[in-house]
Amino acid sequence: MASLERLNRHSRQLMVLQVGQIGIGILSQVILLARWSPHPETDLFLVVSGIPWLVSAALLISGLEMALPATYHRTDDTSHFLNLLFAITLIIALVASFISGGVIFILAQQADLPTVSSLSMGALLGFQILPTALTWLGRGVLVAREQLSAARMTLFIGSLVTAMGYLLLGGRPALTLSAVTCGAAVIAAGWTWYFCGGLGFNINRSLFQQFLPELKILGKAMAGISAAAGLVHLQLLIERGAILSLGTGYVTAFNVAGRGYEALMALAVSGFVMPAYPHWAKNTDARRLLGWSFKRVVMLSALLSLGAAIFALITFTVLENRWTAGRQTAQAILVLLPRFWLLTNLQPLILKHFAQGNTWPPVIGSLLGIGVMAGGAVIFLPQAGLWGMAILVTGSVVPGWIILGWCEWSGH
């Protein structure tokens, strides 16, 4: 039985780290707005930066950190299994890097970016998959070992490097922002490697056959989680494509608001969902831990939503005719607020399914949500503007609630 004292201790540690990361993340986005927006290359960077994660999801590596804990606890010889998994991850990540770099190069050329800049942008954003994939693997190991603070620290370090890069570096947005992203990924991977103690590279036929059952279990879980991750990035691409019709600067504004909400949601998840994740992976006290998690997430998300609404209204009033980027961001915060509340409260159900390897109900919910978003963007958004965007992004969460709620409370 999971100890509530241990859960609460992990919760406090993770909340402190996440609060620090939120502060750095907010600073990073303010710097992005002040130094780099509005600018067409900044909007281009934010649109194409989702390409590597779509490719990673398609090649089944973006779900490693969430899928690995359940398989880790089913494996007796974890050392050799992780060495094999490291080799497989490295090979797949190299392939994903080349594919995503090529796609980004083509899109940058279509946006009239110079050839050298397009190549550089594609190389930097494509290469980041390699260190990021190793970070996912390492964080999965840390979560399985219940080293939750160390796993969170790697994200904190990446956020710190990103903020420093936005502040200190100069040049064209397409190149500088891509270089910052890649550099942060490399440094985060190095720290993850340090916390894990390093992994060996070992791939041979006998080792593959030995761990084939575990690889099948892991592959099935990763297929669902990667599909879910890919759908999230696909939805972001659809949203950003629709937001372009609102005018220059709105993509950046919605990105900043979305990053802020991601940080706030991560606060709730890290404090009140992740402490239960290793126990869900071992399938212990599942229903009791869901109640512990859900009650706390609902209360925190309500407080965070109220704070975000007050902040946006005050900011909008002060900046209405003064700072275009700030006013646009305040509008985006209000538009995305209902989705933030619904999606945050859904996280305990999503991550409980992920931890137990039952990954497809969340995927189906995401797929239906994208259908709502894509269909509405074509039919409804051109006439409704920001109000239409608010309705669409909120409606995209509803299918997930219906499906996961039914699965949980019907006992499926």
- In this structure, are residues 351 and 273 in contact, taking their beta carbons and an 8 Å threshold? yes
Q: Please identify every stretch of the chain with a pLDDT value under 70, giving residue numbers as ranges.
A: 1-4, 201-203, 245-248, 319-322, 324, 377-385, 411-412
pLDDT tens for residues 89-106?
A: 899 999 999 999 999 999
Tokens of 215: 């690889």
User: Does residue 34 sit in helix, strand or coil?
Assistant: helix
**Which tokens sit at 189?**
């991977």
Residue 70's SS3 state is helix
Q: Is there a contact between 392 and 252 (Cβ–Cβ < 8 Å)? A: no
Instruction: For the beta carbon of residue 364, count every other beta carbon within 10 angstroms.
Output: 18
Residue count of the chain? 412
Token pair of 336 as six digits: 């995305």
Q: How far is CA 219 from CA 63, 223, 297, in A?
A: 9, 6, 30
- The DSSP symbol for 276 reads G
What is the separation of C-alpha 325 from the centre of its chain, rounded to a whole number of angstroms? 24
Return d(Cα 350, Cα 400) in angstroms, integer: 9
Select from 57, 18, 301 the least CA-distant residue to 151.
18
Query: Tell me, what's the pLDDT at 247?
Result: 67
Give the Cα separation of 146 and 250 in Å (integer). 40
Closest C-alpha to 87, from 201, 164, 211: 201
CA distances to 54, 74, 78, 110, 129 from 204, rounded to whole Å, are 29, 21, 16, 43, 24
Q: What is the pLDDT of residues 353-409, one digit of tens each?
A: 888 878 888 889 888 988 887 777 666 665 666 777 888 888 889 999 999 989 887
262/239 Cα distance (integer angstroms): 16
Given its phi and psi angles, is residue 283 left (phi above 0), alpha (psi -120 to 50 degrees) or beta?
Answer: left
What does 326-372 look like in DSSP terms, one character per residue?
A: HHHHHHHHHHHHHHHHHHHHHHHHHHHHHHTT--HHHHHHHHHHHHH
What is the distance between the alpha carbons of residues 147 and 145, in angstroms, rounded to a whole number? 5
> Do 172 and 41 touch, CB atoms closer than 8 A?
yes
How confident is the model at residue 228, as a pLDDT? 75
Amino acid at 123: A
pLDDT at 105: 94
